[in-house]
Amino acid sequence: MATTYTAKDITVLEGLEPVRKRPGMYIGGVGGAGLHHLVWEVLDNSVDEAMNGYASEVHVTLHADGASVTISDNGRGIPIDRHPKLKKPALEIILTTLHSGGKFEGQNYKTAGGLHGVGASVVNALSKELVATIKKGGAKYQQKFRRGKPAAALKKVGAARGTGTTIYFHPDPTIFPKTEFNPDIICERLEVTSYLHKGLRITFDDHVSKRKETFAHVNGVADYLAKITADRNARPVTEQPFTLERDNGGRLEVVMRWTEATDEHLRSYVNGIPTGSGGAHENGFRAGLGKAVRNYIETHKLWPRGPKLQHEDIREGLVAVLSVFITDPQFQGQTKDRLNNPEIAGQIDTAVRQGLELWLNENRTAAEAIVARIILAAKAREASRAATVQVTRKSATTRANPPGKLSDCTSNKPAECELFIVEGDSAGGSAKQGRNRTFQAILPLRGKVLNTEQASLKKVLENKELADLVTALGTGVGKGMDLSKLRYGKLVLLADADSDGHHIVTLMLTFVYRHLTELIHAGHVYLARPPLYRVNIGKETHWAQTDVDRDRIIKKHKDHGKPEITRFKGLGEMMPKTLWDTTLNPKTRTLQQVSITDALETERVISDLMGKDPQPRFHFIMERADEAEALDL
C-alpha cells in the first residue's frame, strides 16, 4: 500500500472512459436488464423524433447472432454538419461525448425521453462496434466506432431518399458476461411503446426466431388497458373504463378500470419511458383518485357501516395506465425509472380528481358498482386483518420459541442468516446435519402445501405449514408486512430435483408471490439447485442437476472411462456431507435468485397455472405436449 498520496495518484477518466469503468452508473448493471437498456436508449431517441412529429416509423432488427441490434427511423436524421465550436461532425460529438445532444434547450424537442444527453454515447462506449448511418439532403452518410472511439471519419456512402437515422451496435463481451438479447423482452417493449404513441408504426424483425411483427394502435392507451385486463384474467366491474386526456402545457392520458382482482395494477410512463419506481405523477394520480371517490361517496351518502374506507380499499382491483408527456422531466438516475418533478403531482391530482368525479356523477350505474366493490374490499381487509392478528399473536418473538419443526441458527444477524424450506422430515434431517448451524436454519414441510392461489387469506393463515413459515420469518403477511422484522436475509426453497420437487417449489413460490411479495422485490428469495445425478467417471465425481447436465458430463468425459450413474430419489437419500458440498455450502452451491422482471407476465402465468379455472392449464399442456419426453401425471 502506498504511503504517500500526491497528484500523480489522481486518475482522470476522459471521454467515455467513465462509462466503461463504471457501466452500472449509467445502465444499472451489466446483467440482462443493463444489456437490454442499451436497446431502450437507442429506441428512445427514435421515439423522441416520432413524439415531436418528425417520424412515423421505427424499425428494430435483432440479427441472427442474437447479440447485435439495428434501430432505424424516418426522422430528421442526426446532424452531420461540423459543430462551430468543436470543429467535428455533430454525429461524432453526440456519440463520443457525454451530455451532448439537441434536447437541452427545448427548441428541437417539445418533449423527450432521452434528456440527459448520454444515451447514445453510453451505448457507443459499451459496444465493441457501432455503426451510425444518416440520410439527409439526398445523401447517405456513415461513421463507424469501436468501443466508444471513432474507427473512421464520417463519410458519404451514396445517394438516399428521405431522411432518417440507423444505429447498429454489438455490445462489448468484455463488459457484459452475456451479450445475447431476449427477443420476447424487446418485442414486449416495442408493443408497449406503440400503445403510448398513437400513430407510430413499429416493426420488429427478429432473425433469431425468424418472426416479423408490426405494432400500431389507433386507440393508444385504451387498447393497452384492454390488453392488460385480458392478460391478467381480471373481470371488469364496469362496462366501460374511465378515460382522461388533457393537453395543457403537457399531455396527460389516463385510462383505468376497477376489476374483481385483489390487487392494484398501475403502469406509469413519462414521455414514453416506463417508470417502474413511480414518482410524482403516480403520487398525484393516487391522490386525485382517492379524493374523487371520497367526494362522490360523501355527496351521495354512501359511507358504509362498519369498516372505515382506506386508500388501499379504493384502489383494490384497479387496473390503470398513466402516461404523461412533459417538457422538462427530472428523472432519478440515468435509468429513468422514477419521476422527481414535485409540481407534476399537484397538476395530475387536480386533473384526475375533477375528471373522475364528473365521470362518476354522469355514470351512476358504474359509480355504484365501483363503490360496492370498494366496500367489499374494506370488509375483506377487516376479515383478513383479524386472521393475521391470530397468527401474529403466535409469532416467535425470541429464538427460544421456534415455530413448528424449525431448527434455528445461532446467529442473530439477519443479513447473514439463511432459512431453508425443505420437503419432509427425511430431507430435513439430512439438511440439519449437513448445514452450518451458525447461520443456516432448516424448516421441514410435510408434503405439498396448500395451493394459495385458490384459497382465501384466512384459509391460508389457518394452514399450519404456511403459518409456521410466516412466524419464522417474523414479517407478517400481505399489505401489513414489515421487512424490518425479517429474521433471515435469504429464504431458500430446497426440494428434490424431480417433478414432485418442482411442484412443491411452485406451490411455495405461489404463496410467496401472493402474500410475501416484498421479499421477492427486496431480493430475499432464492431457489436451491440440488443435484439429480452423481456421475462417477474414473476417479472424478461430477454432479448433474438435470438429464441434460448428465448427458453433457458423460459426453465431455467419454474418453476417461465408463460412467457410474446414481440418480437420487430425494434429498433424504443424500449423506449430510454430500448435501453440504453440493447444495448448502456457499462456496460450492448454486442459488438462483427469484425476481419479477415482468409483473404482467408473472401475474398471467400464476393465474393460468395455479388458478381455479382449469381451461388455461389444459391449453398450456396441449400446446406443449410434444415437448415432453415423459409426463408424471
In order, the DSSP letters of 402-450 are --TT-B--S---GGG-EEEEEEHHHHHHHHHHHS-TTTEEEEEE-SS--
- The whole-angstrom distance between residue 416's C-alpha and the CA centroid of its chain comes to 26
Examine residue 623 and state whether it is found in any structural domain, yes or no. no
Q: Are residues 543 and 516 in the same domain?
A: no
Q: Are residues 54 and 194 in the same domain?
A: yes
Q: Are residues 512 and 562 in the same domain?
A: no
Examine residue 617 and state whether it is found in any structural domain, yes or no. no
pLDDT of residue 404: 64
Reply yes or no on whether the pLDDT at 533 is more than 60.
yes
Least confidently predicted of 103-112, 120-129, 611-620: 103-112
Examine residue 628 and state whether it is found in any structural domain, yes or no. no
- Tens-place pLDDT, residues 306-335: 778 889 899 999 999 999 988 888 877 656
> Cell 411503446 sits at which residue?
193
Reply yes or no on whether the pLDDT at 495 is more than 80.
yes
Least confidently predicted of 279-293, 450-464, 528-542: 450-464
Least confidently predicted of 113-122, 485-494, 587-596, 619-628: 113-122
Examine residue 631 and state whether it is found in any structural domain, yes or no. no
Reply yes or no on whether the pLDDT at 122 is more than 70.
yes
pLDDT of residue 6: 42
Nearest-angstrom CA–CA distance, 556 and 251: 60
- Tens-place pLDDT, residues 124-156: 999 999 999 999 999 999 999 999 999 999 999
Q: Give the domain-ending residue among 215, 246, 269.
A: 215
Reply yes or no on whether the pLDDT at 117 is more than 50.
no
Mean pLDDT computed over every residue of the chain: 84
CA dihedral 569, 573, 578, 583 (to 10 degrees): 50
Report the predicted TM-score, pTM, of the whole model to 2 decimal places.
0.63
Q: CA angle 574-577-578, nearest 5°?
A: 45
Q: Give the domain-ending residue among 215, 241, 256.
A: 215
Examine residue 477 and state whether it is found in any structural domain, yes or no. yes
- The whole-angstrom distance between residue 16's C-alpha and the CA centroid of its chain comes to 28
Give the model's confidence band at 502: pLDDT under 50 very low, under 70 low, under 90 confident, else very high. confident
pLDDT of residue 402: 61
pLDDT of residue 335: 60
pLDDT of residue 559: 80
Examine residue 515 and state whether it is found in any structural domain, yes or no. yes
In the three-class reduction of DSSP (H, G, I as helix; E, B as strand; rest coil), residue 134 is classed as strand
Q: Are residues 210 and 228 in the same domain?
A: no
Q: Are residues 269 and 347 in the same domain?
A: yes
Nearest-angstrom CA–CA distance, 99 and 83: 15
pLDDT of residue 483: 87
Reply yes or no on whether the pLDDT at 215 is more than 80.
yes
Mean pLDDT over residues 554-583, rounded? Answer: 85
Q: Are residues 51 and 194 in the same domain?
A: yes
Chain length of the chain? 633
Question: Alpha-carbon Rg of the chain, whole angstroms?
Answer: 28
Nearest-angstrom CA–CA distance, 323 and 325: 7
Number of domains into which the chain is organized? 4
Q: Are residues 314 and 423 in the same domain?
A: no
- Tens-place pLDDT, residues 347-384: 999 999 999 999 999 999 999 999 999 988 888 777 66
Active site residues: 423, 496, 498, 500
| Percentage of the chain modeled with pLDDT above 70 | 88
Q: Are residues 322 and 241 in the same domain?
A: yes
pLDDT of residue 97: 82
Examine residue 348 and state whether it is found in any structural domain, yes or no. yes
Reply yes or no on whether the pLDDT at 625 is more than 70.
no
Give the model's confidence band at 33: pLDDT under 50 very low, under 70 low, under 90 confident, else very high. confident
- The whole-angstrom distance between residue 304's C-alpha and the CA centroid of its chain comes to 37
Question: By C-alpha distance, which of 59, 71, 64, 38 is closest to 215?
Answer: 59
| Domain interval for residue 555 | 533-567
Mean pLDDT over residues 534-562, rounded? Answer: 86
pLDDT of residue 566: 87
Examine residue 615 and state whether it is found in any structural domain, yes or no. no
Contact residues for 482 (Cβ-Cβ < 8 A; gap 6+): 475, 476
Q: Are residues 521 and 551 in the same domain?
A: no
